[in-house]
Amino acid sequence: MSKTIRYSLLLMLSIFMASALFAQRPSNENVKAASGYGGAIYGKVKEKGNKTPMQYTNVVLYRLPDSTMVNGNITAKDGSFKFTGLKYGRYYLKVHFLG
């Protein structure tokens, strides 16, 4: 086999391999979905009796089954809270209000 044919085959193989690698690159959305991240938990904290929103209330998110703290948040003026970018799984919330 001549050198020209070898170099031509090597060049074509390199181009083919590079295009195959770039064809497999996922977008950022696919990476989040594949890794299990991207879930959200949201809600509103209201007073039990008169159902008024409770602002500046501490909301803490824990993971089951080992009860590790994942994140904490404070409710807005309308009592709303939101946790985003969570790994899919089971969680529980603890709500604390001082006053």
Kindly report, residue by residue over 58-91, the tens digit of the pLDDT: 999 999 989 899 999 999 999 999 999 888 889 9
Q: Which residues contact 63 (CB under 8 A, 6 or more apart)?
A: 69, 70, 89, 90, 91
Distance (Å, rounded) from C-alpha 20 to C-alpha 75?
Answer: 48
User: For residue range 14-65, what is the model confidence (pLDDT) as tens digits?
Assistant: 666 666 555 555 555 555 555 556 788 999 999 988 989 999 999 999 999 8
Which pLDDT score, from 0 to 100, does residue 13 have? 65
Phi, psi of 89 (to 5 degrees): 170, -160
**Nearest residue to 93 (alpha-carbon basis) of 78, 70, 76, 80:** 70
| pLDDT of 98 strictly over 70 | yes
